[in-house]
Amino acid sequence: MSEQQHITLPEGSIERQTQTLNLGPTHPATHGVFQNILEIDGERIVSSESTVGYIHRAFEKIAERRPYYQITPLTDRLNYCSSPINNMGWHLTVEKLLGVKTPKRVDYMRVVIMELARITDHLICNGVVGVDTGAFTGFLYLMKHREVAYEVYEEICGSRLTTNIGRVGGFERNFTPAVFEKLEKFLKEFPVALKEFESLMTRNRIFMERTQGVGAISAERALNYGFTGPNLRAAGVDYDVRVAQPYSSYEDFEFTIPVGTTGDCYDRFLVRNAEMWESLSIIRQALDKMKTLPSDVWHADVPAYYLPEKSDVYTKMEALIYHFKIIMGESDILPGELYNPVEGANGELGYYLISDGGRSPYRLHFRRPCFIYYQAYAELVKGAMLSDAIICMSSLNLIAGELDA
Amino acid sequence: MSLTSDYIKQRLAEKFGESISQVEESFGTLSFAAPKDLNLKVMQFLYDDEELQFRFLTDLTAVHYPERKGEELAVVYHLYNFRERVRLRLKVYTSVEDPKVFTATKLYESANWMERETYDFFGVEFVGHPNLKRILNVDEMTYFPMRKEFPLEDQSRVDKDDEMFGRGGHIGI
């Protein structure tokens, strides 16, 4: 990009004035409800200010009055492109507080679901980067397979977008044979589509010229701005919570952390694509590992926290007691304070939980990755063209639900 | 070399002596409190020190403890060391009448919005912040909603009979 050439013009003439442009809050190109007030000189951005909070729903406050198991549906609505990761993150946080140890099979089931969610999140983000650069086809190739992933969620928990999947201690029911069939279908068909997508985009001259050097950030600035996840890795820092602080038995898996060098939109795109391949490999490894374990385990043996089967509630005394205690919030929750992060699809999703021993948290704070890195947007687009600002926004993977909590 | 909690405690004690308090370790994270006029000095020390290198501000938020007189608000910083993969929790207490704490924006750009959020919900005034205004709530709001004096509505209240939504007297019917 060359510097803009100014011709000397008399003061006050129209070409020397900057204009204000409202990008959002309901502009289709923002892919969510947030507003950017841009000061533009022709097509070049002089400065910008972001306004967030349009869909703030006070989850942290609501959580202070809810029993732990009713907070899971709130986490769905953070990053709604990959709700299962948020759900699992919350379960893992509560399990850490309660000291619940989950069986290996539960860990692997969770890994399968979390990596599936990571793929669905990345495919939307990368697909949308393509859409914003004018390539709609790639997006459709990938979207077709998100449907299969959503059918897997549906088979496990009954819902598709806001999943509320799993429970504290494990899953609500075992994976049915249909889950494995659908997973196999996904593992067979998705790589073909992803390969097709990559051959369409990755070395595409137009796409490369639109994304290379756009919205670049150095590793130092990215760290200072609190970047995490693929955006930080694109800048060259190999930080991944799955490796740095393994949870849910991620230490049992072989995978690499793809990193970029320049931190621009193109590198972010490449990192996400590479992560999808890694996730596919992790799902395959997890399914193989599950075959060696007894197939009738889908939750930890913690009757005080894990809801018993309904048929047992009607026929067994202990099950009825535990069911009553859990629903009425009489289970003992230990006082404690912890911060538990998981690797969300767009960065480190952290739960800062303070329990005073009551039936709901004393304080719950969500560390939402995109809220923290979105503040770098003004710096990323300064001096860029208006059309670059759009690509920069979609390649950051901003999700309005997570931004506003 | 691995960075142990004992070593961090020792270094902090050497540098700041008695002013570091409430040192405890829970769930593998070392936590301590510092006086509110020292928060930047502590963070700068943790940042600059060649062996500690806590150079990533993971999270910044606040907690309201109405019953602790004189230190009702706790500003909580989570710092991270990438090299040793160690997390640290720093707390700074301030009274609710004079909730002034120095801003960390000079050290971390990421603190900007997180401090605005903390101001928005708890009313902690970050001294020196470049743009301290509400971020998620509406600008006209006059109170700080995450403080404990604003409880959520009791779900079992019966005085509010709402025919349309089956509240109060209509539960379960």
Mean pLDDT on B134-163:
80
Residue B150 C-alpha, separation from nearest chain A C-alpha, in angstroms: 9
pLDDT band at B121 (very low <50, low <70, confident <90, very high): very high
Chain A positions in Cβ-Cβ contact with residue B64 (cut-off 8 Å): 363
Contact B59 A374 (CB under 8 A): no
Q: Are B142 and B150 in contact (CB under 8 A)?
A: no
| CA pair distance B153, A22, nearest whole angstrom | 37
Question: A226 to chain B: nearest residue by CA?
Answer: B110
Residue B26: CA count within 13 A, CB half-sphere? 21
Asked if the peptide bond before residue A25 counts as cis, ω within 30 degrees of 0, the response is: yes
Q: What percent of chain A has pLDDT over 90?
A: 75
Question: Is A210's pLDDT higher than 70?
Answer: yes
pLDDT band at A222 (very low <50, low <70, confident <90, very high): very high
Question: Is A384's pLDDT higher than 80?
Answer: yes
Tokens of A366: 């969500």
Element (H, E) at A40: strand A35-41
Question: Is B170's pLDDT higher than 60?
Answer: no
Chain A positions with Cβ closer than 8 Å to B? 52-53, 56, 58, 60-62, 64-65, 96-97, 221, 223-226, 237, 239, 244-245, 336-341, 348, 350, 352, 354, 362-363, 365, 367, 371-376, 404-405
What's the predicted TM-score (pTM) here?
A: 0.92
In one letter, which amino acid is A282? I
Tokens of A309: 């089967």
Handedness of CA B3, B5, B10, B11 (dihedral sign): positive
Question: A53 to chain B: nearest residue by CA?
Answer: B136
Please state which of the ranges A102-106, A373-377, A396-400, B154-158 shows the lowest mean pLDDT. B154-158
Contact A65 B31 (CB under 8 A): no
Give pLDDT, residue A1: 47
Contact B110 A221 (CB under 8 A): no
Give pLDDT, residue B80: 94
Contact B26 A58 (CB under 8 A): no
Tokens of A248: 């849910």
Contact A367 B76 (CB under 8 A): no
| Residue A213 Ramachandran class (φ > 0 left, ψ -120 to 50 alpha, else beta) | left
Q: Are A278 and A242 in contact (CB under 8 A)?
A: no
Q: Count of CB atoms within 10 A of residue B59's CB?
A: 25
Digit-coded pLDDT (tens) for B27-84: 989 999 999 899 999 999 999 998 888 999 999 999 999 999 989 999 999 999 998 8
Give pLDDT, residue A359: 85
Residue A108 C-alpha, separation from nearest chain B C-alpha, in angstroms: 23
Residue A96 C-alpha, separation from nearest chain B C-alpha, in angstroms: 8
Q: Are B102 and B92 in contact (CB under 8 A)?
A: no
Chain A positions in Cβ-Cβ contact with residue B61 (cut-off 8 Å): 352, 365
Smallest CA-to-CA distance from A333 within A307, A308, A352, A359 is with A359
Digit-coded pLDDT (tens) for A105-121: 999 999 999 999 999 99
pLDDT, chain B, mean: 87
Tokens of B13: 């004690």
pLDDT band at A16 (very low <50, low <70, confident <90, very high): low
Contact A52 B55 (CB under 8 A): no
Question: Is A375's pLDDT higher than 50?
Answer: yes
Please state which of the ranges A272-276, A315-319, B4-8, B57-61 shows the lowest mean pLDDT. B4-8
Q: Are A248 and A88 in contact (CB under 8 A)?
A: yes
CB pairs under 8 A between A and B: 93
Question: What are the backbone angles phi and psi of residue A245, rounded to the nearest 5°?
Answer: -145, 75
> Which of A337, A341, A367 is closest, CB to CB, to B26?
A337
Q: How distant, in Å, are the alpha carbons of A3, A35, A64, A361, B167 from that of B153?
A: 57, 32, 11, 16, 12
Give pLDDT, residue B161: 61
Mean pLDDT on B142-160:
79
pLDDT, chain A, mean: 91
The residues, ordered by sequence, that sit 6+ positions from A329 with a Cβ below 8 Å of its Cβ are: A67, A359, A360
Q: Are B73 and B94 in contact (CB under 8 A)?
A: yes
Chain B positions in Cβ-Cβ contact with residue A348 (cut-off 8 Å): 58
| CA pair distance B69, A25, nearest whole angstrom | 42
Chain A positions in Cβ-Cβ contact with residue B57 (cut-off 8 Å): 226
Give pLDDT, residue B3: 83
pLDDT band at A145 (very low <50, low <70, confident <90, very high): very high
Pairing of strands B73-81, A35-41: unpaired
Contact A372 B136 (CB under 8 A): no
Contact B108 A226 (CB under 8 A): yes
Chain B positions with Cβ closer than 8 Å to A? 26-27, 29, 31, 55-59, 61, 63-64, 76, 78, 82, 85, 87, 89, 108-110, 112-114, 117, 121, 134-138, 145-146, 150-152, 155
Chain A positions in Cβ-Cβ contact with residue B87 (cut-off 8 Å): 245, 339
Chain A positions in Cβ-Cβ contact with residue B27 (cut-off 8 Å): 96-97, 336-338, 340
Mean pLDDT on A285-306:
93
Tokens of B86: 């160690």
Chain A positions in Cβ-Cβ contact with residue B135 (cut-off 8 Å): 52-53
Contact B152 A337 (CB under 8 A): no
Contact A244 B85 (CB under 8 A): yes
pLDDT band at A29 (very low <50, low <70, confident <90, very high): confident
Give pLDDT, residue A278: 95
Give pLDDT, residue A357: 87
Q: ipTM of this complex > 0.85?
A: yes
Chain B positions in Cβ-Cβ contact with residue A239 (cut-off 8 Å): 82
* Measured distance between the N- and C-terminal CA atoms of chain A, rounded to whole angstroms: 37
Please state which of the ranges A310-314, B43-47, B161-165 shows the lowest mean pLDDT. B161-165
Q: Which residue has the higher pLDDT, A187 or B170?
A: A187
Q: Is B107 helix (H, G, I), strand (E, B) or coil?
A: coil
Tokens of A184: 């196999």
Contact A352 B82 (CB under 8 A): no
Smallest CA-to-CA distance from A348 within A206, A177, A199, A228 is with A228
Complete edge-to-edge strand list for the sheet that includes strand A347-355: A336-344, A347-355, A363-367
Question: Is A386's pLDDT higher than 50?
Answer: yes
